[in-house]
A and B are shown apart, each in its own frame.
Chain A
Amino acid sequence: MPDRCAERSEYTEGAPALGCGRLSRDQLELAALSRSDRDVPVDERTVAHLVICRNCVSAVDRLHSEHTLLQEVATASRGPGLPLKERESAELDDGPIPGYRLGRELHRGGQGAVFEAEQIATRRRCAVKMLLGGQFASAAQRARFEREVEVVAALRHPAIVTLYESGISRRGEPWFAMEFVEGERLDEHLRRTGAGPREIAAIMRRIADGVAYAHRRGVIHRDLKPGNILIDPDGSPRLLDFGLARATPERDAHDPRSSSTLAGEFVGTFAYAAPEQLAGDPTAIDSRCDLYALGVVLYEALAGKRPFEGAKSIGELVLQKTTQTPRRPSGFAFERGARIDRDLDVIALRLLAPDPSRRYASAAALEDDLARHLDGRPILAREDSITYVFTKIVRRHWIASSAALLFGLTVIGAGVALAVLYARAEDRLAAANRAQERFKLALTAADPELGEGSSEMNVREYLKVVEREVRAGLDAEPIEVGDLLLTLGVIQLGFQDSESAGNTIRTAHAALADGFAHGELDGVRMAAADVALARLQFLEADFTAADKSYRRALELYVRTTGPLSVESVNTERELASALRELGRFDDALACLERAYESSRRLPKGAESAIARAGIRNGRAILAARMGDEERALEDFRAALTELTRSVKHDDFRIGRTLYSIANSEFKLGRLDAAAVHAQEALAILRLRKGDDARWTVDAALLASKIEAAKSGRDQAQDTPSR
């Protein structure tokens, strides 16, 4: 089409290539923007590349000066008064969202409403989603929202509904304007058309392709479900609501205090959420959560029902997701007289593996396997591994006291456990039974099916309802209910809801301390309450208070379980962290030494070895803080030795420790050793945590810094010989 070519030539001809070609124009532009606006997201890979590539740095320089000039021009020619954008909207409308005329409501859910809308300036038809009641509490929150939106708005893929713009409504609620897509929900579409397994696989393949695209750009959806997948009139899937996704969440997670702003505010529909997502451990959430959700979507499409349908509460659902292998979808299909290829069974079950590392390595790998299936080639996921995957994981989950387990145990079993284990005296048994009844009632009250809960309620909200119900019984049974509240508080802490957690834990602690003072509570339980309070105070950066609470806990543990118990050792190690934050390095060191001495006399086994590795790690961090990098390196190495005795050679903790070793070596200028260790760390972290995980990216960044330093050194060495 000659006309088209002529039209394009203005843009494409003579355009100089920017940088070395490794970074996309988008990445370069964002890097340039971030020079003047620190809130602009730059992915770590770009940062790592810019450390070593002069070409790209000068490209970024160029774009930055371009951007500065154009901003100046815009300010100059905009004239006095309101910026153009605001002037236009002030003239054009007085609706809730400047610049948009809202039409009919298309959908209303737990978190917001979607309207058909017209962008007044461009007359473009679009959909506007308003997050109701979603006012930002702080400028930082708002900045984060804007940052995330910018990342999401950069996504362009045929399977992803494009986000145009976002902002804050006149009432202070965040809104998103996105492409208007006429279509029906995936589940409705499949029901209406009676699509067979082949059509389902083909649609899933295109969905996987879109998800893979977003993942490569560091965007995780986090809320994939049939309601967020529309099928347009051409039969193409379109993914909605990437607005809820956020950029790779682990960005600042080094610091436990700042991670509260990054994750844990998970919003989603429980049935499609991965177990680690329900557990609320922010560091565990990565792109593989989306793979789990796709597994549920695929399973439901094939089987006609969800993999875990019998659960009466969220807790039960978590427990099922972590401990049960769902029935093969082909079984259900067979009952309906339909046939489903075994391959699809394998693919769906693989995606539903409770351990993220047992799912597909990436959405791209899933897409590839679906393509293989559609082409009649053998798929790469192995059938015989499925049982293994599940049995293995179940065991692992029970051993590791993961938040998922804690959550499942608490919600389902805490009432029972408390009643049976702690109600020693007859009179307490009656109280325990009443507490247990109350707990069951609380769960029912918050249950979406039976009580006031909603199916789109997030875990935090759910916990709040449970907490309110439980708290009502505090006066009647202070000890039992206090214990329950304490556990709930710890869970809330796990969900980074520190405000609720603080309240809950303090109430529980006060009730338990009162019981302890009256001789109604034993020392071990009181010590556990003290530790919970101390962790809360640590996260609140009140290290003086944390120090006091840890000491109280330690004293109680030593008195009840003896100094040679895992509890005492771990509490002493945590106490050292509080002391370190207080700048009391000598005291911290003394604590660690004592903990180490005790840990050596613990019964042999993985638990004590891991405890020792933790202490060594603590000592290393302390040494680094005191500026003794040499000593830090030695301790990191010792931690590694302990770990290699107790965990598998490619356990992610080994990867993490190797990373710390490489980092110390780098700081000490031992570049060759650092390079080797950084590469080893990178390989393990990539395998265990995925390409986009924070630790992996950090390791890649470190490796590239080391390479850059090495090449700098080599050049310097060449010079005198010339």
Chain B
Amino acid sequence: MAAMDLDRTTTALLTALHDSANAEAWSLFDRRYRPILLGFARSCGLSEHDAAEVAQSTLVRFIEQYREGRYDRERGRLGAWLVTIARYRVLDHRRKAQSLPRNASESTIVNLDDDRSVGDAYEAQRRLSILREAMQELQERTKTDPRTIRAFELLYYHGMTANAVAADLGMQVQEVYLAKSRVAARIREIVARIEREYEEEPGEWAASEKRPSAELDR
């Protein structure tokens, strides 16, 4: 089991953010939460450009509030706090644009009036972000045999059958299956470690009732 990097936990990051000179902490925090916020804004129907703006202003606003001491972890989940800020930013954009969402069909767009819908959207983006990070780590920072990874890619990105992959890579079908299982096992390890670094179990969201109020954000 891979050891958890204590400097990478959310608590450690938040503590380090008090120091405005700690660029590394900021960049880690940014790497972790910006993609989630981007995805969230996109799933609210914003264009790529507007979504990037929402993510940026949300992160900046959060750091300001945090340094002002308005957020501490006792008051609720970080994700809930972030998404509440993002939610108002998205509403601002919609108001400005005076138009209906255009990126996605209406049924798939997050209902910003519904806490649960907002929470689910954030959770989904967080999960995607973790999986993406895990995959990247597997590809770039582990000693996994490239053929193992290639077998996974052909199976899942290209939708090839195990037989076709075996023929393609000069492997036995059995080896293709084992490669697949191996990738799954490693991804699972990495995901578990990243989850611990987030220090937020997915289930906590529902239990967390404290959110920043609209006034807090204004």
Chain A residues in contact with chain B, CB under 8 A? 8, 10-12, 15, 25-26, 29, 63, 66, 69-78, 80, 83-85, 121-122, 124, 150, 153-156, 162-165, 179
Q: Select one of A15, A63, A77 contacting B132, CB under 8 A.
A: A77
Contact with A along B32-55 (1 / 0, CB 8 A): 000000000010000000000000
B136 to chain A: which residues have CB within 8 Å?
A: 77
The answer to whether A75 and B183 touch across the interface, beta carbons within 8 angstroms, is no
Say yes or no: A69 contacts B187, CB within 8 Å: yes
Residue B145 CB within 8 A of the other chain: yes
Q: Are A162 and B161 in contact (CB under 8 A)?
A: no
* Cβ-defined contact, A70 with B163, below 8 A: no
**Bound Cα distance from A165 to B160, whole angstroms:** 7
Once the chains bind, are B178 and A11 in contact (CB under 8 Å)? yes
Q: How distant is the Cα of A121 from the Cα of B165 in the complex, in angstroms? A: 12
Tell me the complex Cα distance, A253–B155, Å.
33
Tell me whether B156 and A156 are in contact (CB under 8 A).
no
B159 touches A71 (CB 8 A): no
Q: Are B179 and A11 in contact (CB under 8 A)?
A: yes
Main secondary structure of the interface of B (DSSP, over half): helix
A166 nearest in chain B by CB position: B161
A-B contact pairs, 14 of them (CB 8 A): A8-B175, A10-B148, A11-B174, A12-B178, A29-B177, A66-B181, A70-B183, A70-B184, A74-B156, A76-B129, A84-B158, A85-B158, A164-B160, A164-B167
- Once the chains bind, are A156 and B173 in contact (CB under 8 Å)? yes
Task: Decide if A164 touches B164 in the complex (CB within 8 Å).
Answer: yes
Known interface pairs A29-B177, A124-B168; A73-B158 also in contact (CB < 8 Å): no
B154 to chain A, nearest CB (A): 9
16 extra interface residue pairs, beta carbon distance < 8 Å, beyond A73-B135, A77-B131: A11-B174, A11-B179, A12-B178, A15-B181, A66-B180, A66-B181, A70-B187, A76-B135, A85-B159, A150-B161, A154-B161, A162-B163, A163-B163, A164-B161, A165-B160, A165-B161
- Pairs of residues from A and B, 7 with the lowest C-beta to C-beta distance, nearest first: A76-B131, A74-B156, A66-B184, A77-B135, A84-B157, A76-B128, A11-B175
**Residue pair A165, B188 in contact (C-beta under 8 Å):** no
Measured between beta carbons, the chain A residues less than 8 angstroms from B159 are 85
A70 to B129, CA, bound (A): 14
Specify which of B145, B152, B158, B161 is in contact with A153 (CB 8 Å cutoff). B161
B75 sits at the interface (CB 8 A): no
The listed residue (A8, A11, A153) touching B163 by CB distance below 8 A is: A153
Is B157 a contact partner of A83 (Cβ separation < 8 A)?
A: yes
B134 located at the interface, meaning its Cβ lies under 8 Å from any Cβ of chain A in the complex: yes
| Contact assessment for B167 and A74 in the assembled complex, using a CB-CB cutoff below 8 Å | no
> B168 — which chain A residues lie within 8 A by C-beta?
122, 124
Tell me, rounded to whole Å, the shortest Cβ–Cβ distance linking B10 to chain A: 20
Give the residues in chain A near B127, CB-CB below 8 Å: 72, 76
Q: Tell me which of A11, A83, A162 contacts B167 (CB under 8 A).
A: A162
Contacts from B to A (Cβ < 8 Å):
42, 127-129, 131-132, 134-136, 145, 148, 152, 155-164, 167-168, 171-175, 177-181, 183-184, 187-188
Name the A residues within 8 Å of B179 (CB-CB): 11
Q: Which residues of A are found within 8 Å of B131, using beta-carbon distances?
A: 72-73, 76-77
- Distance to closest chain A CB from B150 (angstroms): 11
Q: Which of A11, A73, A83, A153 contacts B134 (CB 8 A)?
A: A73
Taking a contact as CB atoms closer than 8 A, the residue among B163, B171, B172 that contacts A154 in the complex is B163
Known: A10-B148, A25-B177, A124-B168. Is A73-B161 also a contact (CB below 8 A)?
Answer: no
How far does the alpha carbon of A25 sit from the alpha carbon of B132 in the complex, in Å? 28
Q: How many Å lie between the Cα of A153 and that of B176 in the bound state?
A: 15
Among residues of B, the one whose C-beta sits closest to the C-beta of A84 is B157
> Chain A residue with minimal CB distance to B48?
A80
Tell me the bound Cα distance from A73 to B135 in angstroms.
7
Q: How far is the CB of A13 from chain B (nearest CB, A)?
A: 10
Contacts of B180 in A (CB 8 A): 66, 70
Known: A164-B167, A165-B164. A85 touches B157 (CB 8 A): yes
Candidates A10, A71, A153, A164; contact of B156 at CB < 8 Å? A71
Chain B residues positioned under 8 Å from A156 (CB to CB) = 163, 173
Chain A's closest residue to B172 (CB) is A11
Task: Please judge, given known A-B contacts A122-B168, A179-B167, whether A74 and B177 are in contact too, CB under 8 Å.
Answer: no
Query: Which A residue sits closest to B184, measured CB to CB?
Result: A66
The chain A residue sitting closest to B168, CB to CB, is A122
Given A15-B178, A72-B127, CB of A10 within 8 Å of CB of B158: no
Contacts of B161 in A (CB 8 A): 150, 153-154, 164-165
Q: A15 to chain B: closest CB distance in Å?
A: 5
**A598 nearest CB across to chain B (Å):** 57
By a CB distance below 8 angstroms, the chain A residues around B171 are: 11
Closest chain A residue to B138 by CB distance?
A73
Collect the chain B residues with CB atoms within 8 Å of residue A76's CB.
127-129, 131-132, 135
Contact of B152 among A25, A26, A70, A154 (CB under 8 A): A70
How close is B146's CB to chain A, nearest CB, in angstroms? 11
Question: Across the interface, which residues of A come within 8 angstroms of B156, CB to CB?
Answer: 70-71, 73-74
Q: Chain B residues with Cβ under 8 A from A10's Cβ? A: 145, 148
CB distance from B148 to the nearest CB of A (A): 7
Q: State whether B157 touches A78 (Cβ < 8 A).
A: yes
Closest to B152 in A: A70
Cα(A155)–Cα(B168), bound, Å: 15
Of A25, A70, A155, most buried by chain B (CB within 10 Å of CB) is A70
- When A25-B177, A69-B184, A165-B164 are in contact, do A74 and B42 touch as well, CB less than 8 Å? no
Return the chain A residue nearest B181 by Cβ.
A66
Residue among B168, B174, B177 facing the most chain A CB atoms (10 A cut-off):
B177
Residue on A nearest B166 in the bound complex, by CB = A156
Identity of the chain A residue whose Cβ is nearest the Cβ of B136 in the assembled complex:
A77
Q: Smallest CB-CB separation from A80: which chain B residue?
A: B42
Give min CB distance, B71 to chain A, whole Å. 28
Q: How far is the CB of A160 from chain B (nearest CB, A)?
A: 11
What's the minimum C-beta distance from B103 to chain A, rounded to whole angstroms?
A: 10
Note all chain A residues with C-beta closer than 8 A to B152. 70
**Measured between alpha carbons, how far is A84 from B131 in the docked complex, in Å?**
17
Q: What distance in Å separates the Cβ of B155 from its nearest Cβ neighbour in chain A?
A: 8
A347 to chain B, nearest CB (A): 32
Q: Are B184 and A121 within 8 A (Cβ)?
A: no
Give min CB distance, B189 to chain A, whole Å: 12
For B155, the chain A residues whose CB sits under 8 A away are 70
**A25 contacts which of B42, B158, B160, B174 (Cβ < 8 Å)?**
B174
Chain A residues with CB under 8 Å of B129's CB are: 76
A72–B191 Cα gap in the complex (Å)? 12
Most buried by A among B128, B145, B152, B156: B156
Bound-state Cα–Cα, A303 to B131, Å:
65
Q: Which residues of B contact A29 (CB under 8 A)?
A: 162, 177
A245 to B128 CA separation, bound complex (whole angstroms): 40
Cα(A84)–Cα(B179), bound, Å: 20
Residues on the A chain within 8 Å of B128, using CB: 75-76
When C-beta atoms are compared, the residue in chain A nearest to B151 turns out to be A11
Across the interface, B158 reaches (CB within 8 A) one of A15, A75, A121, A162, namely: A121
State how many angstroms separate the Cβ of A34 from the closest Cβ of chain B: 15
A153 to B165, CA, bound (A): 11
A11 to B182, CA, bound (A): 9
Q: What residues on B are CB-neighbors of A150 within 8 Å?
A: 161
Smallest CB gap from B175: residue in A: A11
| Minimum C-beta distance from B163 to chain A (A) | 5
A670 CB to nearest B CB, Å: 42
Q: Which of B167, B175, B188 contacts A69 (CB 8 A)?
A: B188
CB closest chain-A residue, reference B129: A76
Chain B neighbourhood of A124, CB < 8 A: 168
Considering only CB atoms, which chain B residue lies closest to A25 in the complex?
B177
Point out the residues of chain A lying under 8 angstroms from B172, CB to CB. Answer: 11
Contact in complex: B157, A74 (CB < 8 Å): yes
- Closest A residue by C-beta to B177: A25
- Complex: how many Å from CA A226 to CA B70? 81
Give min CB distance, B69 to chain A, whole Å: 35
Report Cα–Cα, A163/B157, bound state, in Å: 19
Which of B145, B152, B167 has the most chain A CB atoms closer than 10 A to its own CB? B167
CA gap between A29 and B175 in the complex, in Å: 13
Contacts of A164 in B (CB 8 A): 160-161, 163-164, 167
